[in-house]
């Protein structure tokens, strides 16, 4: 097991890279070692550009950028050997077999021929491609291609892995397996930067950077994102008898920690969203307060964790309202 | 260092694996030119087709024996379709493409010759192909030359019959000379003047006979002697009254000497056959190329085909190579990896060199080796494709290596400049077309201007063809010039392609 590196593996300060109006602007972020750092945002928001700057493919127009303590544009060979990269598209050779492709990438990183065999077999097992190792890459499925690319990006055991939309076009079951692999890598001490369009996947990340129109909207933990979507509050979903709803609102309104009570649209009557500062600590108090009135029939009371799709849409709407031109972020 | 080698060999292995996964490509690369050569060997005679000819003769002379003789003796390059007096009909057939030429035989050859004028043999043709036009002009020139020779032969034979009279003319001239000598002793002797005039006339006859026998003409010794005699006789005649006898004697001695010269020439004419008189020079070509096989079109063109094939294959493979990396997106992987642009290029060079070298060896082996019955090569040999290989195989290997490297260099240059596969293929095909035209494969290099020949020398195949023909067919080692050209092209193209590829691969 590899020990997680201390400090930050990535530091970006006011980094910009643009082609006319397109590109990324003033990105500032830090990625601590040993984390899975997600980068999410709609198509064209600058995820791939950011990854390419981090891997040294693109040179920033301005700002400071350091990856593993060095500037990517001046990476020496040794620094490059510490980085793994899984591109967004399949860039391997269709007329080579799975194992030949893996071998080829191992050679790109200068891995000695005689000592790589064990590593290749482990990786093939890791991505469940052992059976298909002699199959031509053009003959394997899309999901297998993504797994092959993951194996190739890990073949030289990099300290820091960049995976650009690794789960794009992959079925949900396989996506789950990918994230399982990423978690395993994290446990073994690797740092990962993963971009994704599937916002539900941010749940697997330690921190998430949300990009919108080339600008960084925020960096948060997954829970932090939910809170942001609800204006900084946690939400308790309370289901009571519809006839008890007025009474319930009155009781809850008297509680000092309740910031807001809403009846969500398009939901059955009697369902209330109660906005509090911290759901974990306030939920018992809230249940206690309602229990004092025997007429109220409380059916369920739990912390409301909306799907990240919803969170993401809410966040984007909030951003659009706040900054319709997309000229600046708040982080 | 070790890691660098591992990286280079990554591309070497990859290219080999990718090519060997395309057996059809390899098969077509080897069998394609092999079959083309086979068909070429079976179907190409190397002979120019006969010119379809209509002879237009003067009216009423179609049955003339001289016309019949002309038709018979037109030569192997003419196929006489018809002999007619109707020129308009013949020209119409020419316009319709039914004949290649219409040859108009002049009607008044004898009269014009008598008037010391030449006759025109008009040849009409309708050609847009300059090579074919040149061929027609050349053949008609040769034909008229042959006709002239035949006419001269007739005249020479007639002249030899005249030669019998020549002795008589000379004897008579000597007699007149004796009469003049005697007459000089008596001043005002009328017989002397008469003898001089007869001698002048005789001298003319001698010259005429010599000319008819082919020994006369301007600046000829007989002509000069005859002229000198005429001058001396004129001086003798005009000085009969006044000159000293001593002077006249000196002139007579000179005339006697010149008459002896004419007699000597006449003696020669008698013994020389008419054919020798008309055509003293006869061509006698001898091929001193020290080869123990019979040169043929197929043996001559095979080294060129092999060189052209190798160049085309290497250029095409390399031209598609870097473009393909771009289109596949693999360059993104290279940009992030510690692999350098030079390592990628060198690895690819090694891979393609091995493949092209193996194909060259297989092809040349199949074309030249004595392989057991049943093999494709042996079938080809049995069809007449036993191409000789009389030179040093090590020199052949070196030239092949340089030819492949130079061609790969051009291919990689094309690849580095191309954005798409179509562009790369298009540029490769243009290079192939240029090679067919400018390499000396079909058209000799000497036919091009010096400036255009510069293009020829920039094509590896130009030097490949020269060296392969030298090694395979003559057993001669390649020249230093060829080796330097190939090495130069290889080096310059490698550096340029590398620089462009490096720029392309550079992190942006």
**pLDDT tens-place string over residues B276-333:** 877 888 888 887 777 777 777 778 888 998 899 899 999 999 999 999 998 988 998 9
Would the pLDDT of A136 be above 70?
A: yes
Strands (E) in B208-253, as ranges, are none
Q: Where are the alpha helices (DSSP H) in chain A?
A: 47-54, 77-81, 98-108, 116-126, 142-154, 172-187, 222-229, 245-254, 279-291, 308-322
Percent of chain A, pLDDT > 70?
96
**How far off is chain B from A45, nearest CA to CA, in Å?**
19
Out of A191-195, B32-36, B100-104, B346-350, which region has the weakest mean confidence (pLDDT)? B32-36
> Do the Cβ atoms of B17 and A95 come within 8 Å?
yes
For residues B37 and B436, which has the higher predicted lDDT (pLDDT)? B436
pLDDT, one tens digit per residue, over B467-488 is 999 999 888 999 999 999 999 9
> What is the average pLDDT across B393-415?
95
Residue B324 forms contact with A (CB below 8 Å)? no
Please tell me which of the candidates B6, B10, B329 has its beta carbon nearest to residue A91: B329
Angular region, A7: left φ>0, alpha ψ -120 to 50, beta rest: left
Percent of chain B, pLDDT > 70?
88
> What is the average pLDDT across A128-152?
91
User: Are the C-beta atoms of B370 and B388 separated by less than 8 Å?
Assistant: no
Strands (E) in B234-337, as ranges, are none
**pLDDT in the model for residue B226:** 78
> What is the average pLDDT across A210-239?
86
**pLDDT in the model for residue B138:** 92
SS3 B102: strand
Percent of chain B, pLDDT > 90?
31
Please tell me which of the candidates A57, A92, A109 has its beta carbon nearest to residue B338: A109
**B199-214 residues labelled b (16+ CB within 10 A) or e (exposed):** bbebbebbbbbbbbbb
**pLDDT in the model for residue B217:** 52
User: Are the C-beta atoms of B92 and B63 separated by less than 8 Å?
Assistant: no
Dist. CA B95–CA B125, nearest whole Å: 9
> Do the Cβ atoms of B335 and A56 come within 8 Å?
yes
Q: Which two tokens stand for residue B170?
A: 């000379």
State which of A37-41, A212-216, B285-289 shows the largest mean pLDDT: A37-41
**pLDDT in the model for residue A97:** 94
Would the pLDDT of B384 be above 60?
A: no
Label residue A149 by pLDDT band (50, 70, 90).
Answer: very high
Q: How confident is the prediction for chain B on average, in pLDDT?
A: 83
Please tell me which of the candidates A57, A104, A111 has its beta carbon nearest to residue B335: A57
Residue B328 forms contact with A (CB below 8 Å)? yes
Residues in A closer than 8 angstroms to B21, CB to CB, are: 95-96, 136
Label residue A330 by pLDDT band (50, 70, 90).
Answer: very low
User: Are the C-beta atoms of A196 and A165 separated by less than 8 Å?
Assistant: yes
User: Are the C-beta atoms of B151 and B112 separated by less than 8 Å?
Assistant: no
Label residue A329 by pLDDT band (50, 70, 90).
Answer: very low
Dist. CA A222–CA B233, nearest whole Å: 136
Q: Which two tokens stand for residue B332?
A: 């993104």
For residues B398 and B147, which has the higher predicted lDDT (pLDDT)? B398
Residue of A nearest to B506 (CA): A57
Tell me how far CA of residue A177 lies from CA of A90, A101, A166, B371, B469, in angstroms: 19, 22, 11, 59, 64
Would the pLDDT of A32 be above 50?
A: yes
ipTM of the complex: 0.81
Dist. CA A227–CA A157, nearest whole Å: 36
As beta bridge partners, residue A162 has: A85, A193
pLDDT, one tens digit per residue, over B452-465 is 889 999 999 999 99
Please tell me which of the candidates A73, A100, A110 has its beta carbon nearest to residue B7: A110
For chains A and B, count residue pairs whose Cβ atoms are closer than 8 Å: 86
**pLDDT in the model for residue B216:** 54
Q: How confident is the prediction for chain A on average, in pLDDT?
A: 86
Label residue A327 by pLDDT band (50, 70, 90).
Answer: low
Out of A23-27, A229-233, B382-386, B431-435, which region has the weakest mean confidence (pLDDT)? B382-386
Residue of B nearest to A155 (CA): B337
Percent of chain A, pLDDT > 90?
36
Dist. CA B290–CA B390, nearest whole Å: 10
Label residue A139 by pLDDT band (50, 70, 90).
Answer: very high
SS3 B299: helix
User: Are the C-beta atoms of B386 and B292 separated by less than 8 Å?
Assistant: no
Dist. CA B470–CA B464, nearest whole Å: 10
User: Are the C-beta atoms of B413 and B494 separated by less than 8 Å?
Assistant: no
Dist. CA A135–CA A130, nearest whole Å: 10
The residue behind tokens 């002793």 is B185
User: Are the C-beta atoms of B166 and B259 separated by less than 8 Å?
Assistant: no
- Global pTM value: 0.74
Label residue A93 by pLDDT band (50, 70, 90).
Answer: very high
Would the pLDDT of B238 be above 70?
A: yes
Strands (E) in B254-327, as ranges, are none
């Amino acid at each position: 097991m590899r020990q997680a590196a201390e400090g930050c593996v990535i530091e970006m300060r006011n980094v910009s890279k643009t082609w006319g109006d397109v590109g990324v602007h003033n990105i500032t972020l830090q990625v601590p070692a040993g984390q899975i750092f997600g980068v999410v945002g709609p198509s064209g928001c600058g995820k791939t550009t950011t990854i390419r700057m981090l891997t040294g493919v693109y040179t920033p127009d301005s700002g400071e950028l350091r990856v593993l303590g060095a500037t990517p544009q001046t990476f020496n060979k040794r620094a490059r050997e510490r980085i793994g990269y899984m591109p967004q598209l399949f860039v391997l050779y269709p007329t080579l077999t799975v194992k030949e492709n893996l071998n080829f990438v191992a050679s790109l990183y200068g891995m000695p021929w005689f000592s790589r065999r064990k590593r290749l077999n482990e990786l093939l097992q890791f991505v469940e491609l052992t059976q298909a190792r002699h199959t031509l890459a053009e003959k394997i499925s899309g999901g297998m291609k993504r797994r092959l690319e993951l194996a190739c990006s890990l073949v030289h055991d990099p300290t820091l892995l960049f995976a650009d939309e690794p789960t794009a076009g992959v079925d949900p079951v396989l996506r789950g397996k990918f994230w399982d692999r990423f978690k395993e890598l994290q446990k073994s001490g690797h740092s990962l930067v993963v971009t994704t369009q599937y916002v539900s996947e941010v749940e697997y990340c330690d921190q998430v950077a949300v990009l919108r129109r080339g600008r960084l909207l925020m960096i948060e933990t997954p829970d932090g994102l939910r809170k942001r979507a609800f204006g900084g509050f946690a939400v308790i979903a309370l289901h009571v008898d519809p006839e008890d709803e007025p009474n319930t609102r009155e009781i809850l309104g008297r509680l000092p920690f309740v910031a807001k009570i809403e009846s969500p649209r398009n939901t059955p009557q009697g369902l209330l969203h109660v906005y509090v500062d911290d759901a974990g600590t306030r939920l018992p108090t809230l249940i206690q307060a309602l229990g004092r009135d025997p007429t109220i029939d409380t059916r369920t009371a739990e912390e409301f964790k909306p799907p990240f799709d919803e969170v993401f849409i809410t966040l984007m709407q909030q951003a659009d309202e706040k900054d319709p031109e997309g000229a600046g972020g708040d982080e | 260092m070790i890691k660098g080698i591992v990286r280079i060999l990554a591309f070497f292995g990859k290219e080999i694996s990718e090519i060997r996964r395309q057996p059809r490509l390899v098969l077509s690369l080897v069998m394609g030119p092999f079959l083309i050569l086979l068909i070429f060997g079976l179907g190409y005679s190397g002979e120019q087709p006969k010119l379809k000819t209509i002879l237009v003769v003067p009216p009423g002379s179609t049955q003339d024996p001289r016309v019949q003789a002309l038709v018979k003796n037109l030569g192997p390059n003419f196929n006489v379709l018809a002999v007619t007096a109707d020129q308009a009909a013949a020209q119409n057939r020419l316009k319709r493409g039914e004949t290649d030429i219409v040859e108009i035989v002049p009607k008044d050859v004898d009269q014009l010759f008598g008037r010391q004028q030449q006759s025109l043999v008009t040849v009409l043709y309708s050609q847009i192909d300059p090579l074919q036009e040149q061929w027609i002009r050349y053949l008609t020139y040769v034909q008229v030359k042959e006709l002239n020779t035949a006419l001269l032969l007739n005249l020479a034979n007639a002249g030899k019959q005249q030669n019998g009279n020549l002795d008589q003319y000379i004897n008579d001239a000597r007699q007149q000379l004796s009469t003049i000598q005697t007459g000089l002793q008596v001043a005002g002797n009328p017989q002397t003047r008469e003898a001089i005039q007869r001698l002048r006339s005789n001298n003319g006859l001698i010259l005429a006979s010599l000319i008819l026998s082919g020994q006369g003409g301007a600046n000829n010794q007989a002509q000069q002697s005859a002229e000198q005699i005429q001058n001396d006789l004129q001086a003798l005649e005009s000085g009969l009254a006044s000159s000293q006898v001593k002077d006249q004697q000196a002139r007579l001695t000179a005339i006697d000497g010149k008459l002896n010269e004419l007699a000597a020439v006449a003696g020669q004419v008698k013994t020389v056959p008419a054919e020798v008189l008309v055509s003293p020079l006869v061509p006698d070509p001898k091929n001193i190329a020290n080869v123990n096989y019979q040169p043929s079109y197929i043996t001559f063109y095979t080294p060129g085909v092999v060189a052209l094939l190798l160049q085309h294959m290497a250029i095409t493979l390399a031209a598609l190579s870097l473009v393909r990396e771009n289109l596949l997106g693999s360059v993104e992987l290279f940009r992030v990896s510690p692999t350098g642009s030079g390592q990628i290029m060198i690895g690819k060079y090694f891979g393609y060199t091995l493949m092209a070298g193996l194909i060259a060896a297989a092809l040349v082996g199949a074309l030249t080796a004595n392989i057991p019955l049943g093999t494709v090569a042996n079938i080809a040999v049995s069809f007449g494709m036993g191409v000789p290989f009389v030179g040093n195989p090590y020199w052949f290997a070196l030239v092949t290596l340089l030819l492949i490297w130079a061609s790969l260099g051009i291919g990689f240059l094309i690849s580095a400049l191309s954005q798409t596969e179509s562009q790369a293929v298009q540029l490769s095909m243009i290079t192939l077309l240029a090679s067919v035209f400018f390499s000396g494969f079909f058209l000799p290099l000497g036919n091009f201007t010096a400036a255009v020949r510069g293009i020829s020398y920039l094509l590896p195949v130009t030097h490949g063809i020269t060296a392969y023909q030298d090694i395979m067919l003559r057993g001669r080692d390649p020249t230093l010039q060829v080796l330097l050209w190939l090495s130069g092209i290889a080096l310059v193209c490698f550096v340029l392609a590398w620089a462009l590829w490096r720029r392309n691969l550079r992190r942006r």
